[in-house]
Amino acid sequence: APEDMAPEVWAKVKDHPCYSEEAHHYFARMHVAVAPACNIQCNYCNRKYDCANESRPGVVSERLTPEQGAKKVLAVAASVPQLSVLGIAGPGDALYDWRKTKATFAAVATDLPDIKLCLSTNGLALPDHVDEIVAMNIDHVTITINMIDPEIGAKIYPWIFYKHKRYEGLEAAKILHERQMLGLDMLVARGVLVKVNSVLIPGINDEHLIAVNREVKKRGAFLHNVMPLISDPAHGTHFGLTGQRGPTAEELKKVQDACEGGAKLMRHCRQCRADAVGMLGEDRGQEFTLDKLPETIE
């Protein structure tokens, strides 16, 4: 293990292509798009497409039932020897759609006990599921945290759906913020590695992400991934009614550089699809669509 890393942490990151830059040359991940529902609205999201929190928005992933998802994982594991991680990253929220996420993980863990389980969430439902996350040996959780100031949050999230009720504006952003911080603290306390994703939205949270970086470091996040908003009106990804653009490569780098010295930055994210398969930056998803899976898997 590297000098600055405890052996038990190293054991969790050494073959995870997102948590270790080194590992991404040798290990592959796959996603199954089993979680279509979401409990919040981000201004940059168009519900017809994948969750922009983690994955590449503006593309429609193949929606699978947990049974189909598990079948696909077994087929990929049989032909991609580098496969080390199964992630569930939407296309909605993996924890709001927890019943499906859990069923998929449970089915896969029975047949592939060594595969690492990973999930991505907006955090709103996170505190409710920490016990089960730990019980299921899910060692890696990504929370998308775009703000720690609800005033800024109100510009990003028009509403949330929480405890059977819809909240809007500042009140919604405040609840989301509190749930994200609580979820982060609970996971850290239980030894789950947490990666924080932040979507950089020029003019909305660019400067603010430095404060986000410092706060999540203080709370024990393992990695911070500052990702560019991918704004593509042609695919329906937009920001409110204003036609918000994504950052340039320079603007992204400026914020990432300004975050240096705080929570360790992930710089090799490829903003994968919710049904991506293969090494990072490679997408072999089309080789494993449902119609191509074998009837029975040895």
Q: Residue 92: which of ligand CLF, ligand SF4, none does it interact with, CB under 5 to 8 A by kind?
A: ligand SF4
Q: Which sign, positive or negative, has the C-alpha torsion 113, 102, 145, 130?
A: negative
**If binding is defined by CB under 6 A, does position 51 make contact with ligand SF4?**
yes
**If binding is defined by CB under 6 A, does position 118 make contact with ligand CLF?**
yes
Q: CA-CA distances (angstroms) from residue 211 to 147, 194, 243, 263?
A: 8, 18, 26, 11
Minimal distance, residue 176 CB to ligand SF4, in Å: 10
**If binding is defined by CB under 6 A, does position 216 make contact with ligand CLF?**
no
Among 41, 65, 68, 82, binds ligand SF4 (CB under 6 A): 41
What is the enclosing helix (H) or strand (E) of 84?
strand 83-88
* Torsion angle defined by CA atoms of residues 151, 244, 92 and 234, in that order, rounded to the nearest 10 degrees: 170
Report strand pairing: 193-200 vs 223-228. Answer: parallel
Among 252, 272, 274, 277, binds ligand CLF (CB under 6 A): 272
**If binding is defined by CB under 6 A, does position 51 make contact with ligand CLF?**
no
Q: Residue 172: which of ligand SF4, ligand CLF, none does it interact with, CB under 5 to 8 A by kind?
A: none
**If binding is defined by CB under 6 A, does position 53 make contact with ligand SF4?**
yes
State both tokens at 106: 């449970």
Q: Residue 42: which of ligand CLF, ligand SF4, none does it interact with, CB under 5 to 8 A by kind?
A: ligand SF4
By CB atoms closer than 10 A (0-12, 13-18, 19+), residue 223 is buried
**If binding is defined by CB under 6 A, does position 201 make contact with ligand SF4?**
no
∠ CA 203-205-211, nearest 5°, is 140
Task: Looking at residues 150 to 189 of the shown chain, list those that interact with ligand CLF (rule: CB under 6 A).
Answer: none
Which residues would be at the binding site for ligand SF4 (CB under 6 A)?
38, 40-42, 45, 51-53, 90, 92-93, 122
